[in-house]
Amino acid sequence: MKIVKINALWCSGCLYMKKVWKDVLKEYPNLDITEYDYDLDEDIVKTYNPGEILPVAIFYKDNIEYKRLVGEKTSDEIINVIKECL
């Protein structure tokens, strides 16, 4: 299952979410996650139209964008979306 994550090196909320994603990965270790940095990967990030709040996680179902989670979320919220996509 494909997930695109957009973070930034300066974003405190993105760093906070690292711990949350660690918990998610314990349950789903085989997720196909691609991470981009808001400033360092500017051109690619623009194509995802991430908006004004970071971090952004884009979930794909059958290679089509299914859902976006914007900002800080709990591991349960993320797992629920993963379950919907699978």
Partner 1 sequence: MKKLYWIIIALFMIIPIGVKAKDIDVYVFHDYKCLHCKAELEYLNEVKENYNLNLHLYEIGNTNDKSYDANVELFKKVIEKLNINKNYQAPFTIIGDRYYIGFDDSTKKSMDTLLKDFESDIKVIEKVVKDEDTSDINMKYGEYSAIKFFGHELNINKMPIPLIATVIGFIDGFNPCAMWVLIFLITMLMNMKNKKRMYALGITFLVTSAFVYLIIMFAWLSIIGSLSSIVWFRILIALVALIGGLVNLRSFYRSLKKDDGCEVVNEKKRKSIISRIKKIVTEKSFILALIGVIFLAFSVNVIELACSAGLPMTFTQILALNNLSNLEYMINILIYIFFFLIDDILVFTIAMVTLNVSGISTKYTKYSHLIGGVLMVLIAILMIFKPEWLMFNI
Looking only at residues 46 through 85 of this chain, which bind partner 1 when binding is defined by CB under 8 A? 52-55, 70-72
Amino acid letter, 37: D
Give the residue among 71, 66, 69 at the shortest CA–CA distance from 86. 66
3-state secondary structure of 34: strand
The site for partner 1, by CB under 8 A, has a size of: 21
User: Between 2 and 68, whose beta carbon lies closer to partner 1?
Assistant: 68
Instruction: Compute the least distance from the CB of residue 58 to partner 1, in Å.
Output: 14
Distance of CA 68 to CAs 39, 40, 65, Å? 20, 21, 8
Does 3 interact with partner 1 (rule: CB under 8 A)?
A: no
What is the closest distance, in whole angstroms, from the C-beta atom of residue 56 to partner 1 in the complex? 8
